[in-house]
């Protein structure tokens, strides 16, 4: 498919699902297509790096999301990743860019991205770095680094919290703690120190409880924890 055909496809699906754009209005058009439907359309279109680049430059928000979904990890360059992370002006774009089976999480330089971005002074890069860390920790590929790599980030999350009270990488901590018994024990120790994590108004939002997730019976059985 070409860009024009994709835009027409998106227009024919306008209003299918809850609108996902929540950032500043006016800069791009919003067709009101839900993320679940966009993922279905992405599977229909298939991987296409050149088309992904064109869609990312579109003034249609859902086309930009599709651009991230259909990109080819084998052809994404570090330069492209750095350019796109600077253009993430909306939570949904950031979510699709670095989480939930994202194309970027499959690039061969993901480890370098994680190490560089989690150490960045730029908040968006740090957030995306931890998002990619969550993806890597959830992967079952043989190429995934060993326990020492993930233990380094457990320690880093703890150090940041002890030094400043800031909580970065809460979901990454959970994903790391699900990998095996050793990492579960280390992640659980830090999760108990941090306690429930609030990402919004404490009065109106349920906390994200990493301890509760890491101590679920089914996970303990899978990891062989008594």
191-211 mean pLDDT? 84
| pLDDT of 82 higher than 70 | yes
pLDDT tens for 39-70 read 999 999 999 999 999 999 999 999 999 999 99
- Alpha carbon of 57 to those of 10, 51, 103, 106, 205: distances in Å? 15, 10, 17, 22, 35
Residue 22 has pLDDT above 70, yes or no: no
What percentage of the chain exceeds 70 in pLDDT? Answer: 93
Mean pLDDT, rounded, of the chain: 93
Distances (CA, A) of 130 to 37, 143, 174: 26, 19, 11
Average pLDDT over residues 134-161: 97
C-alpha R_g of the chain: 19
Residue 224 confidence (pLDDT): 97
For residue 81, what are its two tokens? 């990743």
Residue 7, pLDDT > 90, answer yes
Query: In this predicted structure, what is the pLDDT of residue 16?
Result: 77
* Residue 159 neighbours by CB distance under 10 Å: 11
Q: Report the pLDDT value the prediction gives residue 205, as an integer from 0 to 100.
A: 75
- pLDDT number for residue 199: 77
pLDDT given for residue 25 in this prediction = 52
Q: Per-residue pLDDT averaged across 72-80, rounded? A: 98
């Amino acid at each position: 498919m070409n860009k024009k055909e994709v835009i027409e496809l998106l227009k024919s699906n306008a209003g299918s699902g809850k609108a996902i754009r929540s950032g500043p209005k006016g800069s791009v058009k919003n067709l009101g297509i839900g993320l679940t439907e966009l993922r279905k359309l992405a599977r229909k279109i298939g991987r296409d790096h050149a088309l992904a680049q064109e869609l990312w430059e579109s003034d249609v928000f859902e086309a930009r999301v599709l651009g991230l979904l259909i990109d080819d990890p084998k052809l994404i360059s570090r330069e492209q990743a750095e350019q796109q992370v600077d253009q993430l002006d909306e939570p949904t774009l950031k979510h699709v860019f670095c989480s939930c089976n994202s194309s970027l999480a499959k690039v061969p330089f993901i480890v370098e991205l994680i190490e560089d971005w989690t150490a960045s002074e730029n908040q968006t890069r740090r957030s995306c770095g931890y998002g990619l860390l969550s993806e890597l920790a959830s992967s079952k590929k043989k190429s995934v680094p060993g326990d020492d790599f993930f233990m380094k980030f457990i320690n880093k999350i703890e150090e940041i919290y002890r030094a400043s009270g800031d909580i970065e990488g809460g979901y990454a901590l959970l994903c790391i703690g699900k990998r095996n018994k050793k990492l579960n024990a280390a992640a659980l120790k830090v999760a108990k120190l941090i306690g429930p994590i609030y990402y919004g108004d404490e009065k109106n939002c349920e906390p994200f409880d990493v301890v509760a997730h890491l101590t679920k019976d089914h996970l303990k059985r899978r990891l062989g924890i008594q």
